[in-house]
Amino acid sequence: MTSFEQNKNRETAGKSSWNKKKTILIILLIVVALFAARTLKNGGNGGARQAMQPQAPSVVVYRVANADLAAKREYIGRVEPIQTVSIKPQVAGEIAQVNFKDGSHVKAGQLLFTIDNRQYQATVEARKADLEKAEANYDRAVKYHNRLKAADKRSISASDLELAESDVLQGRASVEQAKAALKLAQIDLGYTKITAPISGQIGKALYTKGNYVTPALSELATIVQIDPVRVTFSLPDKDYLNQIEAFKQAGNNVYDAEIKLANGETYPVVGTRDFEDNTMDSRTGTMMMSLRYKNDSGLLVPGSMVRITVKPSETHISPVIPQESVMADSQGDYVYVVDASNIVHRRSVSLGIEYGVMREVISGVKPDEVIVRRGLQSVRPEIEVSPAPIRDASTTTLEPSELAMESGYDLAPIPLESGDKQEQSAEGKN
């Protein structure tokens, strides 16, 4: 082989080696490009997935607080007059005079109506004449009977003496009958002047001068006693029994209650125990209570409604939570407790008595713990939530929708400073 051919072979081998290296380099560049593209793609999908992750659900929370479950409670009471009188005529006749002003205060014995009495006065005069006639006949019969008894028995017959004795008896009966008739006529004459049987406020005169009234059909006016009055309301059976025991221990009949009038003002008079009904209402489990109040100011109007604020005889301090925050399953009642990191945890609770929209908690949560109140449908155990700011009901005005859900029991929160007493109460329960 010549040197020229050897050089050419070397040149060909060098080009072939370069082509191989070039091919390997291109392949490596393609691999690197594919890897970079895939990495960028994966990074973009991860960001999208991160952006698509759900945000923490928003919830409304409630800070558990103690409340005096025996705090003052309000009941609806009705003001009732102790005495009510419907004025009706006892005799028929035409009204001659109305002697009072509509709506005025009248006193017992005060003249109210005058009925035309001419007919009844004439009847009295006629009954007096009948009495005089009966007395005259009786006197004649007595004298005749005395003469027969004084005469010789041989000159009169037994039948004549018996007839004389009968005339005396009949004459005496006629006198008594005439006296009774006169008395009735005088009573009817007295009925023509209608007076007030009680002191109180009289209403409108339903019949005025010139109207003909009868006992069967006519009501002339109504009088209600204004001072004192009674206020009646229904007390739950448990509170009633506690109150009766308090009466026995205190040794007096002063009821620890105050009245709020329709204008929101408190009535400044303390009521006294009047009476209690003799049976418990089986439908509601309540007992009707009646308090008596002096009402010289006339602020307690019979028939009006008032709010009675009653203070029970004993206190009962316990944690309370809204009933809407309680959930239940086969394991029992539970709530979601929110920790400092806004992570919710399921917590089983033991519940007590209902107080409006609130519920007593016997065990499970403690005062100052935060629980989920609303938004429970989005909550699962051990997830993070976004709680709304906790508002203090004592310093924040509630929305109308929230006011509509508030309980009428007005359970006032108890500050944590009284925790010693609360712990003692809890230990006593355990």
> Per-residue confidence of the chain (430 residues) as pLDDT tens digits?
555 555 555 555 555 666 666 677 777 777 767 766 665 555 555 444 444 556 888 888 999 988 877 667 788 899 999 999 999 999 999 999 999 999 999 999 999 999 999 999 999 999 999 999 999 998 888 888 888 877 777 777 778 778 888 888 998 999 999 999 999 999 999 999 999 999 999 999 999 999 999 998 779 999 999 989 999 988 888 778 877 777 776 665 556 678 888 888 888 888 888 888 888 888 888 889 888 999 988 899 898 999 988 766 566 788 999 988 999 998 899 999 999 889 999 999 999 888 778 888 999 999 989 999 988 888 889 998 888 866 544 444 444 444 444 444 456 666 555 444 444 444 444 3
pTM, whole model, 2 decimals? 0.55
- C-alpha triplet 178, 181, 185: angle, nearest 5°: 135
DSSP output for 224-248? E--SSEEEEEEEEHHHHHHHHHHHH
Give Cα 171 to chain centroid, integer Å.
69
Q: How far apart are CA 96 and CA 116, in angstroms?
A: 5
Confidence (pLDDT) at 80: 92
370 touches 61 (CB < 8 A)? yes
Class level of CATH domain 73-81+224-310:
mainly beta
Confidence (pLDDT) at 164: 81
138 touches 174 (CB < 8 A)? yes
Confidence (pLDDT) at 401: 46
Confidence (pLDDT) at 122: 95
Q: How far apart are CA 385 and CA 388, in angstroms?
A: 10
Confidence (pLDDT) at 398: 47
Confidence (pLDDT) at 430: 39
According to CATH, the topology of domain 85-219 is: OB fold (Dihydrolipoamide Acetyltransferase, E2P) (2.40.50)
Domain spans in the chain, listed from the N-terminal domain onward:
1-43, 60-67+318-424, 73-81+224-310, 85-219
104 touches 204 (CB < 8 A)? no
Give the burial class of 325: count Cβ atoms within 10 A of its Cβ; 0-12 exposed, 13-18 middle, 19 or more buried: buried
Confidence (pLDDT) at 10: 57
Q: How far apart are CA 399 and CA 358, in angstroms?
A: 18
Task: Give the neighbor-by-neighbor strand order of the sheet with 212-213.
Answer: 193-195, 111-115, 93-98, 212-213
Per DSSP, helices labelled H in 53-117 are none
User: Is the bond into 389 cis (omega within 30 degrees of 0)?
Assistant: no
326 touches 371 (CB < 8 A)? no
Q: How far apart are CA 395 and CA 337, in angstroms?
A: 24
Confidence (pLDDT) at 420: 45
Provide the 8-state DSSP code for 277. -
Pick the CATH number of 60-67+318-424 from 3.40.30.10, 3.40.50.300, 2.40.420.20, 3.40.50.12780: 2.40.420.20
273 touches 253 (CB < 8 A)? yes
- List, in sequence order, every residue forming a beta bridge with 291; answer none if it has no partner: 231, 273
Q: How far apart are CA 330 and CA 333, in angstroms?
A: 9
Q: Are 73-81+224-310 and 85-219 in the same CATH fold?
A: no
Q: How far apart are CA 180 and CA 191, in angstroms?
A: 17
Q: How far apart are CA 255 and CA 247, in angstroms?
A: 8
